[in-house]
Each structure stands twice: as structure tokens, then as C-alpha cells.
Structure 1
């Protein structure tokens, strides 16, 4: 409701009104204009000028818009819970297991695992590298496009690329660089039709409704954590099984 341009244009009195509104939103939507004027120590005329500056004809319209925004925030939180449940129901009854096993086979034969991501995906990429390393598959997280990677680390390596949209220019450039050096790519994206997914050798798509709050992508990342941990655990179990078979064959 309040853009950065609007906030930057506020004078001192309007800034006081803004600060009061954002810290008392639930109360303001039920106030009369005189009540808000008293709480903010300004005139009703100043309140009306403030309303016009934020794109409202009057105080009533301002309160209506504020109510709509508060309601949309509550619905966003609720829908997040439902979409996560839908993901798990869909995953448990789908054939994604076959794709996970294919990814495990690719990772098993790799000497190095590199994680790539930026923003919230970067945070999860760092988490993924740590989680894989904790389960015995040493991994690195790359967050800087200019970060030097020795050629021997890229040969016989698998890169796990995380991106919600799959269209981030940093991610695409990094993937192109890694593929050019011979790295195989497993991507985890929100859908399989994006650039990142198409460039990958294997793609794990989780299909969640993308959600935004004040121009920020707040799409839940719970499916990504689930896929990363599941992949790491299956990889660990697979490698243990291979070692066990090797031991049994040696004993014979």
C-alpha cells in the first residue's frame, strides 16, 4: 500500500502519520478521522492530505484499502499452509521417486557436488551443501559468479541449481559456465518449463503457486528443503548399500 516513492515524499507530519498507521493498523481501520488526528497530533486536514498522497480520495477510502491489504496478508499465510499440504499429497502419490533415484545415481558417480543459488535460493543452496556434507558427500556452495573454480573440481562434478522462477540471469550464466566445463546439472525449480529446467540434465519441479508480498517473492521454500534432504538421505543410503555389496563381494 505504501510504496518507497510515497514514503520518500512524506514530510515530517506525514511521516508521523505513516509510522503510527503501520504500527496500529488493526486499530486505524476502525477509527474516525478525528481520532487518528488526535493520536498523531495533527489536524484532520493533514490526514486528508496524507490520504491523497497515498492515492486515496479521502479517509474512508484509505481505511478500505488498509482493510483489503490486511485481509490479503491473512489469506497469504493461510494459502501457504494449504499449498504445502497439497505438495506433500502430490509428491507421495506421484512418480517423482523415479526422478529422485536418477539424480541419486548421477550424484553417486560424481567426485564433487557444487550448489548454486541466489537470494532465498542461495540460502537454501548453502544449507544444501552443508546437509550433503554432513551426510558424507562433501559439497560446496557458490554465491559469487566470479568465484574461481579449479577445472579439476568441475570435471566429473554435479551442480545442484536452485531457483524458484528458473529465469534468474545469475543462475543461468553460472549454469552455462559449469556445463561448459563438463559439470552435470540437477535443478530444483518451481516448474519444468523454465530456462534453468531446460538446461538441466535432471529437473525436480515442485509446482507451488507463486506468492508475492510488496513485490517480494514469498513462495514457500518448504518443498525445496524436503527435496534437498530427501536427495541427500537417499544418496547416503545408496552409497552405504554399494559399500556393503563391495564388502560382501570381497569376503567371497
Structure 2
């Protein structure tokens, strides 16, 4: 019994305000667990009637079922800390892989894509910040954004990232890619950038759990993936990151 498995097929039908409620639930799952509908609606700054309509629209019969599923989703997450919300057994990995891609695309907001595409029309400098396995994917992103005519910076180690930080200004878009959203170096980087008089647009791509990088960014995109390690090395799929970044670029090209 998993909140995301129940809600996922209904996300495409949500209004903008309902998407905000969905993000609220995802970001505050621990806090709303065990609370009454009045308390949760108050936390979300909506009426109880609005929240119950939302609950039913994402696939639940009522608030009682919604609250029960939230509880079991959290229990499962705590019992399986190395497994993400869409983890499945090996014999269905292909279905899970496809589901992760579908969910990553489904929760994308056209308004956010258009906002970034609008900024891209100003031909800003593009900065990519990523570590570990994601760095290898960003080499591809560096290529396609460069071929689209952008000046791209991809500092690959901490010393170069510190130098790049000094060059970033309001004519920059900074993409931060961190699955758990709690990388200390990147949190410090964003904290310094938002202090600038000429702060850049900061776009993050993180997992769907509430996290610090998400909360510090101007725009955040959720990605879904199953965590996988081989010989102690994380080889979890980064295809969802590529999809998000490709769709941002394609939106820019489409809007030109």
C-alpha cells in the first residue's frame, strides 16, 4: 500500500492548485501523518472541503484511506531506507523503470518549463552542478545545450566549482542535480548565490521527498528512480534527469 502508486495515475488530471496540494503532501508527509483532516487542511491553507475533494481526485475513497496509506508509506520507507518509493522486486524492474519515467514526466509543470524557456531566450550562461554518477550524464547535457548555442559551464570538482560560483550572476541559470537534495556543498553554494545582489535563477532536480536543496531553489523538479548499487557503487538510473533537462531545452526550442 503506497501513496505514490495510488496517486500517480491521477496526477495528469490535477489543476495547478491541486498540484500544489500534491507537492505539499509529498513535502510534509511526516508532519501530516496522524493528523486530522482539519489540521492538515489548515497546514495547507485550504478548506476541509477542498482537501477532501483533492484526496478523492488522487484516488482515495476519503480522508481515512488517505491517512492510512500515508502511514503505511512512511512505515515502508523507514523499514527500507535504501529503497525509494517506487522500489519493486527484480522480476518487475522493467515495469518499475517505465513507471519512474512516466511519473517524472507526469509531474512536470508546463508553467515551470515555460518560465525557464523564457529565461533561456535571453541567452544566459548555463551552469551545471552535479556529482558522482550524475556527472557522467551531465557531459551529455553539456553537449546538447552547447549545440543549442548556449555558453555552458560544468565544473567537475570542488575547486572549479568554487571558481565558477564567483562568475555566476543574474544572467545565469544554475542547475543543481542532487537525488537526496541534502548535499552540503551544494546547499552552501545555493546559500551563497541567493545572497548576491544579482542572483541567478536556481533550478534543482531532486528526489520527491522534502529536502533542503528543493526548498532553497527557485524551481524544483522531481525525479523518480529505483536505487541500485553494484559492488558498492551507485548505478541508479539517471535517465529521469536527462528527460527533465531535454524537455526544458525542447520547450525553449518549441517556444522560439
| Structure 1 partner of 2:120 | 107
SS at match of 2:220: strand
Compute the displacement of 1:198 (Å). 1.0
C-alpha separation between the residues in 1 aligned to 2:106 and 2:99? Answer: 11
So what's the TM-score if we normalise by structure 1?
0.56
| Structure 2 partner of 1:128 | 141
1:89-168 correspondence runs (5 A): 89-91=102-104, 93-94=106-107, 96-109=109-122, 111-147=124-160, 148-149=163-164, 151=166, 153-168=168-183
| Structure 1 partner of 2:252 | 235
C-alpha separation between the residues in 2 aligned to 1:79 and 1:164? Answer: 23
Compute the displacement of 1:108 (Å). 3.0
1:1-252 correspondence runs (5 A): 75-76=89-90, 78-91=91-104, 93-94=106-107, 96-109=109-122, 111-147=124-160, 148-149=163-164, 151=166, 153-181=168-196, 182-191=199-208, 193-238=210-255, 241=256
* C-alpha contact (below 8 Å) 1:117/1:161 kept by paired residues: yes
SS at match of 1:220: coil
C-alpha separation between the residues in 2 aligned to 1:79 and 1:183? Answer: 42
**Structure 1 residues 120-142: Cα deviation after superposition (integer angstroms, max 9, x where no partner):** 12222332222111112221112
Compute the displacement of 1:81 (Å). 2.4
The 1:192–1:98 alpha-carbon spacing in structure 2 relative to 1, beyond 3 Å, is: farther
Which one scores higher on RCO, CA 8 angstroms, separation ≥ 6? 2
Segments of structure 2 that go 5 or more residues without pairing to the other structure are 1-88
Greater gyration radius: 1
C-alpha separation between the residues in 2 aligned to 1:95 and 1:161? Answer: 17
Number of residue pairs matched by the alignment: 165
* C-alpha contact (below 8 Å) 1:113/1:138 kept by paired residues: yes
